[in-house]
Amino acid sequence: MKMRIWILLIIGLCTAFVQPAKAEDFAPGTTVRHVNYAKHEITLELYRRKEGEREVKTYKMDPAPTITLDGDQVKLAKIKKGMHVTGIIESDPGTIVTLTVQSY
């Protein structure tokens, strides 16, 4: 019985420190600044709703990201400078697993 309690306690502590995917909500004006296809990286000019500030940040892309462009799933090669980012989900800070983009 004591062993089960210790195992459950250890599992609980381990899962408490695992960070879930983080979703970021961007205001209109967040754009793709650069895509490095060879390094699988994307640089965004962020405009955050809460702070009302702009920031340039480079992200790594997950090896198999989900990328949506105008409602269709696409590969990273379809993403170009100037496209508008409407949201991302990171698996860990700085690595994008889901990217939503509009071409308008």
> Each residue of 44-83: pLDDT tens digit?
998 766 667 788 999 999 999 999 999 999 999 999 999 9
Task: Give 56's Cβ-side CA count (13 Å radius).
Answer: 4
In terms of DSSP bridges, do strands 72-74 and 54-69 run parallel, antiparallel, or are they unpaired? antiparallel
- Residues 6 or more apart in contact with residue 44 via CB below 8 angstroms: 30, 31, 32, 33, 56, 57, 58, 59, 85
Question: pLDDT at position 82, please?
Answer: 94
CATH fold of 19-102 reads: OB fold (Dihydrolipoamide Acetyltransferase, E2P) (2.40.50)
Q: Where are the domains of the chain?
A: 19-102
Nearest to 23, CA basis, from 90, 101, 93: 90
Residue with tokens 């970021």: 24
